[in-house]
């Protein structure tokens, strides 16, 4: 049986992590227990570890299905950098490489085998799989199997052969997108057997969301990139033409930006992606064709230069920022023209059902952009979650960057001009009337005799234009026919004219606040920027020498930690998150050398206190009891329930139960009777006993859980076992 120590030791030694991210532990344990898994976790949630860790602990090879060759290559590189024996079988490898891999597979030398889905077409390949010991199948990007998802791939349908061809082997499926329709499709098509379902929160605390109205979009994009000069980022644009235009403009300013869209040749696209992934260019300007193959963890911003078609896509795209859990910014630019274009696009769809879907999606997207409340709350609500806080602290709205001013009188001026001209004119002419312009049209219609003529001279035309846009956005004005954009009044408009309704204009602060530097655990950190840049330099050098992407050497997060704590020897260095033993051996010397030199020059001491980063020590002292266990005990004594402690500490109830067990084993007195009712305890005891073992000390969880036929889960079993074992002496 695999012990907790093995799990945590592997987590620390191989991956260099000292705690699980949310839901990882539960998934790892379920895979180890031999059950199908279906996990929906956001991008950057740490799905790879969920299958890589059990793959190392179980006998045999874990077969990972992944949709893109470029992605597989990066994942194999990343696994190897951690000292894991990983290989890939796809169309890009030569026959002799294939023979070598097949031989290694048969001799049991490989723990992770990445394959593309179409392999399941080949009898030859299936025969190879049948001749080796497989620990389990992991299906990455599982939504590709659904036609309702946005990345449907016909080849994924082949995966239904897994269950028929390998009925005894379990499947773990992972995706970052799954509406309930897609989720259902995945379960049915993969034929998952009573899978353990996990749906992690889609909240990404380290992402900052901002929405800005377009003025001069190319200038706005350039200025943004300029402010983020040394950082990697993605700019999405709606069309190929705009992609090329933006890329060209940025290049003309001396920024190494590359274009990426489906109209380019495969090799050009590949070159652009490779350059981005290897930090050779900092900005990629792309259509939504760019994305899925990107595991690059240090993308610091994702900018949308136009309003996206739906929130699902917007969220996937922004999700590519800040995978490493360090702060990243997502900015969306839009204007009323974007809104018109998308609205027209939806209206022109012929199929009525598809048209309705597109319209709904458009309305949701528009509401998001024009919203005057927390953005995060809106995104999470879209995914069916309720965000608990009133201020998320991580969006333009919650930071107070959106100001409101009373604009009732100015709105009345505009509305009155529209009313008096019979609702027959567009925005340009109305602005001309209000600002008192002397145009031919004004003279022709005698509009210079209107009482509203020139009443808004005190403000520039642009102000009146944005006021009209805001009135449109709030549906106080409407445009019935996009081909003939004349402004019409609604009931609310009439109320404003009569003074029965106020109107507030939303504006963006001239000097928006800086996006807060918040990490995925919600903590803000200060680090030494200069050292960080030096360490990045070393990372690039190593990456070039080894021909791997820099983020495979280390993502930004470990480098930031190094620039926070200045580790100068092995003991200190391996405490950095992401430093496993292989990476320490390979790269430790170079990084420690640089840190030492820097610290000597600047008279800096290493900081011993790693606590903001390390919440869960991986391994405990000789008694087995460490601060983390004692903290659990303390909360318990304050009267908190296991669930409450888990929530407070952001770890699973399972871990809390494991803590309690450890404490009980070490003779700590706990209010055990609180955890489980006496008659339930009797029932669980029976399950333990019917599993064939009578001595309490030998009770194992798995047989009892299995005998209960779904009525008992591991946590409760463990809790009951603990109460039964230690109940008397508490
Ligand atoms: P996903 O596939 O869900 O988008 P990845 O598997 O690529 O996410 O992981 C995202 C990032 O999180 C990677 O940089 C990875 O190293 C990091 N990560 C994964 N698990 C942990 C952990 N337990 N502690 C700290 N970082 C982690
Ligand atoms: Mg992934």
Whether the domain at 529-602 and the domain at 627-726 fall into the same CATH topology:
no
Per the prediction, the chain carries an average pLDDT of 88
Mean pLDDT for the stretch of residues 306-329: 92
**Among residues 693, 711, 621, 701, which one has the least CA distance to residue 658?**
701
How many Cβ atoms sit within 10 Å of the Cβ of residue 479? 17
pLDDT-based confidence at residue 407 (cuts at 50, 70, 90): very high
Given a cut of 50, whether residue 285 has pLDDT beyond it is yes
In this predicted structure, what is the pLDDT of residue 331? Answer: 97
CATH class of 4-199: alpha beta
Q: How far is CA 509 from CA 213, 328, 339, 397, 514, in A?
A: 12, 21, 23, 11, 12
Q: Near ion ligand 2, which residues have CB within 5 Å?
A: 47
In this predicted structure, what is the pLDDT of residue 728? Answer: 61
How many Cβ atoms sit within 10 Å of the Cβ of residue 80? 17
SS (H, E, C) 268-307: HHHHHHHHHHCCCCCEEEECCCCCCCCCCCCEEEEEECCC
CB 662 within 8 A of CB 617: no
Report the nearest-CA residue for atom 24 of ligand 1. 17
Distance CA 531, CA 526 (A): 12
User: Could you write out the DSSP letters of every residue in 196-241?
Assistant: EEEE-----TTEEEEEEE-SSHHHHHHHHHHHTTTSEEEEE-SSHH
**Among residues 539, 211, 11, which one has the least CA distance to residue 2?**
11
pLDDT tens-digit map of 164-180:
999 999 999 999 886 77
In this predicted structure, what is the pLDDT of residue 697? Answer: 67
Distance CA 128, CA 166 (A): 13
Q: Which CATH number fits domain 207-401: 3.40.50.410, 3.40.50.300, 2.40.160.40, 3.40.50.720?
A: 3.40.50.300
- The distance of Cα 455 from the centroid of its chain, to the nearest Å, equals 50
**Among residues 521, 643, 648, 376, which one has the least CA distance to residue 21?**
521
Distance CA 612, CA 590 (A): 25
Q: Is 4 helix (H, G, I), strand (E, B) or coil?
A: helix
How many Å from the N-terminal Cα to the C-terminal Cα in the chain?
28
In this predicted structure, what is the pLDDT of residue 620? Answer: 38
Distance CA 314, CA 206 (A): 17
User: Could you write out the DSSP letters of every residue in 38-59?
Assistant: EEE--TTS-HHHHHHHHHHHSS
In this predicted structure, what is the pLDDT of residue 483? Answer: 65
In this predicted structure, what is the pLDDT of residue 669? Answer: 80
Ligand 1 centre from 21 Cα, in Å?
Answer: 8
In this predicted structure, what is the pLDDT of residue 249? Answer: 93
Ligand 1 centre from 460 Cα, in Å?
Answer: 50
Given a cut of 90, whether residue 244 has pLDDT beyond it is yes
Indicate the DSSP class of residue 455.
T
Ligand 2 centre from 25 Cα, in Å?
Answer: 17
* Exposure string over 50-70, b if 16+ CB within 10 A, otherwise e: bbbbbbbbbeebbbbbbbbbb
pLDDT tens-digit map of 264-275:
999 999 999 999
Distance CA 675, CA 641 (A): 8
The ranges assigned to domains in the chain are 4-199, 207-401, 404-508, 529-602, 627-726
Give the ranges where 436-569 is alpha helix by DSSP (H): 440-445, 461-473, 491-497, 529-546, 550-553, 556-565
Which are the contacts of 611, defined by CB distance < 8 A and separation ≥ 6? none
Distance CA 422, CA 435 (A): 18
Given a cut of 70, whether residue 693 has pLDDT beyond it is no
Given a cut of 70, whether residue 25 has pLDDT beyond it is yes
Mean pLDDT for the stretch of residues 669-690: 85
Mean pLDDT for the stretch of residues 245-264: 94
Report the nearest-CA residue for atom 27 of ligand 1. 46
Distance CA 257, CA 248 (A): 8
pLDDT-based confidence at residue 704 (cuts at 50, 70, 90): confident
Which are the contacts of 506, defined by CB distance < 8 A and separation ≥ 6? 372, 402, 403, 404, 470
Spell out which residues line ligand 1, taking CB within 6 angstroms.
17, 20-21, 24, 41, 43-49, 295, 297, 323-324, 555, 577-578
In this predicted structure, what is the pLDDT of residue 608? Answer: 62
Residue of 28, 43, 48 to mutate, ligand 1, most atoms within 8 A of C-beta: 48
Indicate the DSSP class of residue 617.
-
In this predicted structure, what is the pLDDT of residue 179? Answer: 76
Ligand 1 atom closest to Cα of residue 324: 14
In this predicted structure, what is the pLDDT of residue 482? Answer: 60
pLDDT tens-digit map of 417-435:
999 999 999 999 999 999 9
Q: How many residues comprise the chain?
A: 730
Mean pLDDT for the stretch of residues 48-58: 96
Mean pLDDT for the stretch of residues 63-73: 88
Given a cut of 70, whether residue 611 has pLDDT beyond it is no
pLDDT tens-digit map of 83-132:
999 999 887 788 888 888 888 888 888 999 999 999 888 888 899 899 99
Percent of the chain with pLDDT over 70: 94
Ligand 1 centre from 345 Cα, in Å?
Answer: 37
What is the architecture of the domain spanning 404-508? Orthogonal Bundle (1.10)
Higher pLDDT, 655 or 438: 438
In this predicted structure, what is the pLDDT of residue 92? Answer: 78
Q: What CATH code is assigned to 529-602? A: 1.10.150.80
Mean pLDDT for the stretch of residues 3-18: 92
Given a cut of 90, whether residue 589 has pLDDT beyond it is yes
Distance CA 580, CA 82 (A): 7
Describe the strand order of the beta sheet including 283-286 as a list of residue ranges: 207-213, 328-334, 299-304, 232-236, 283-286, 257-260
pLDDT-based confidence at residue 641 (cuts at 50, 70, 90): confident
* Ligand nearest the Cα atom of residue 521: 1
Distance CA 387, CA 203 (A): 8
Indicate the DSSP class of residue 143.
G
* Exposure string over 335-350, b if 16+ CB within 10 A, otherwise e: bbebbeebbeebeeee
Ligand 1 centre from 557 Cα, in Å?
Answer: 11
Ligand 1 centre from 469 Cα, in Å?
Answer: 42
* Ligand nearest the Cα atom of residue 520: 1
Q: Which CATH number fits domain 627-726: 3.30.70, 1.10.1740, 1.10.287, 1.10.10?
A: 1.10.10
How many Cβ atoms sit within 10 Å of the Cβ of residue 195? 19
CB 382 within 8 A of CB 364: yes
Report the nearest-CA residue for atom 15 of ligand 1. 46
The least confident of 12-21, 190-199, 600-609 is 600-609
Given a cut of 90, whether residue 631 has pLDDT beyond it is no
Ligand 1 centre from 252 Cα, in Å?
Answer: 36
Q: Is 151 helix (H, G, I), strand (E, B) or coil?
A: coil
pLDDT-based confidence at residue 462 (cuts at 50, 70, 90): confident
- The distance of Cα 624 from the centroid of its chain, to the nearest Å, equals 35
**Among residues 234, 302, 515, 509, which one has the least CA distance to residue 392?**
515
pLDDT tens-digit map of 161-219:
999 999 999 999 999 886 778 889 999 999 999 999 999 999 999 999 999 988 889 99
pLDDT-based confidence at residue 627 (cuts at 50, 70, 90): low
In this predicted structure, what is the pLDDT of residue 230? Answer: 83
């Amino acid at each position: 049986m695999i012990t907790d120590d093995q799990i945590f030791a592997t987590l620390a030694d191989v991956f260099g992590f000292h705690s699980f991210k949310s839901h990882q532990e539960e998934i790892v344990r379920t895979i180890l227990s031999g059950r199908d898994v279906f996990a929906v976790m956001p991008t950057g949630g740490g799905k790879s570890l969920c299958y890589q860790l059990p793959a190392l602990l179980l006998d045999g090879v874990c077969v990972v299905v992944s949709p893109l060759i470029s992605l597989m290559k990066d994942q194999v590189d990343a696994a190897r950098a951690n000292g894991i024996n990983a290989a890939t079988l796809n169309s890009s490898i030569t026959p002799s490489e294939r023979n070598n891999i097949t031989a290694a597979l048969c001799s049991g030398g490989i723990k992770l085998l990445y394959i593309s889905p179409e392999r399941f077409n080949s009898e030859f390949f299936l025969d190879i799989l049948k001749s080796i010991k497989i620990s389990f199948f992991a299906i990455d990007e599982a939504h590709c199997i659904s036609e309702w998802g946005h990345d449907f791939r016909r080849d994924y349908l082949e995966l239904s052969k897994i269950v028929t061809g390998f009925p005894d082997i379990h499947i773990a499926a992972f995706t970052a997108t799954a509406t309930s329709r897609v989720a259902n499709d995945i379960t049915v098509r993969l034929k998952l057997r009573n899978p353990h379902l996990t749906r992690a929160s889609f909240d990404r605390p380290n992402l900052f969301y901002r929405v800005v109205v377009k003025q001069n979009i190319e200038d706005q994009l350039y200025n943004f990139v300029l402010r983020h000069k040394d950082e990697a980022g993605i700019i999405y644009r709606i069309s190929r033409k705009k992609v090329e235009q933006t890329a060209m403009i940025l290049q003309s300013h001396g920024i190494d930006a590359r274009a990426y869209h489906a109209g380019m040749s495969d090799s050009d696209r590949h070159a652009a992606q490779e350059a981005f992934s290897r930090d050779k260019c900092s900005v990629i300007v792309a259509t939504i064709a760019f994305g899925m193959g990107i595991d690059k963890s240090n993308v610091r911003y994702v900018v949308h230069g136009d309003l996206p078609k739906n929130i699902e896509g917007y969220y996937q795209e922004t999700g590519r920022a800040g995978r490493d859990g360090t702060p990243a910014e997502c900015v969306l630019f839009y204007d009323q023209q974007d809104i018109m274009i998308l609205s027209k696009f939806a209206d022109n769809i012929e199929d009525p059902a598809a048209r309705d879907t597109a319209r709904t999606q458009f309305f949701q997207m528009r509401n998001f952009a024009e919203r005057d409340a927390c953005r995060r709350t809106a995104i999470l609500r879209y995914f069916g979650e309720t965000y608990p806080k009133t201020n998320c602290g991580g969006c333009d709205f919650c930071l107070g960057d959106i100001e409101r001013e009373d604009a009732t009188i100015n709105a009345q001026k505009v509305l009155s001009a529209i009313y008096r001209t019979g609702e027959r004119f567009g925005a340009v002419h109305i602005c001309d009337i209000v600002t008192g312009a002397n145009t031919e049209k004004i003279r022709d219609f005698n509009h210079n005799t209107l009482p509203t003529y020139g009443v808004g001279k005190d403000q520039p035309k642009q102000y009146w234009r944005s006021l009209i846009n805001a009135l449109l956005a709030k549906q106080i004005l409407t445009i019935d026919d996009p081909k003939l954009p004349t402004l019409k009044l609604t009931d609310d408009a009439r109320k404003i004219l009569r003074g029965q309704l106020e109107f507030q204009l939303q504006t963006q602060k001239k000097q928006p606040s800086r996006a807060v530097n918040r990490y995925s655990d919600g903590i803000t950190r200060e680090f030494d920027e200069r050292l960080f840049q030096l360490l990045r330099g070393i990372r690039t050098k190593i990456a070039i020498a080894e021909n791997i992407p820099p983020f495979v050497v280390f993502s930004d997060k470990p480098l930031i930690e190094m620039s926070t704590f200045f580790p100068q020897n092995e003991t200190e260095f391996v405490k950095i998150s992401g430093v496993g033993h292989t990476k320490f051996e390979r790269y430790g010397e170079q990084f420690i050398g640089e840190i030492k030199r820097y610290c000597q020059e600047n008279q800096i001491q290493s900081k011993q206190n790693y606590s903001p980063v390390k919440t869960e020590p991986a391994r405990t002292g000789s008694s087995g009891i460490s601060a983390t266990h004692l903290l659990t005990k303390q909360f318990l004594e304050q009267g908190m329930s296991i669930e409450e402690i888990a929530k407070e500490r952001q770890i699973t109830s399972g871990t809390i139960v494991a803590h309690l067990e450890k404490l009980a084993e070490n003779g700590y007195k706990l209010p055990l009777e609180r955890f489980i009712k006496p008659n339930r305890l009797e029932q669980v005891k029976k399950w333990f006993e019917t599993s064939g073992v009578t001595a309490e000390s030998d009770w194992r969880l798995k047989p009892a859980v299995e005998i209960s036929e779904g009525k008992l889960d591991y946590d409760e079993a463990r809790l009951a076992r603990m109460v039964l074992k230690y109940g008397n002496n508490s």
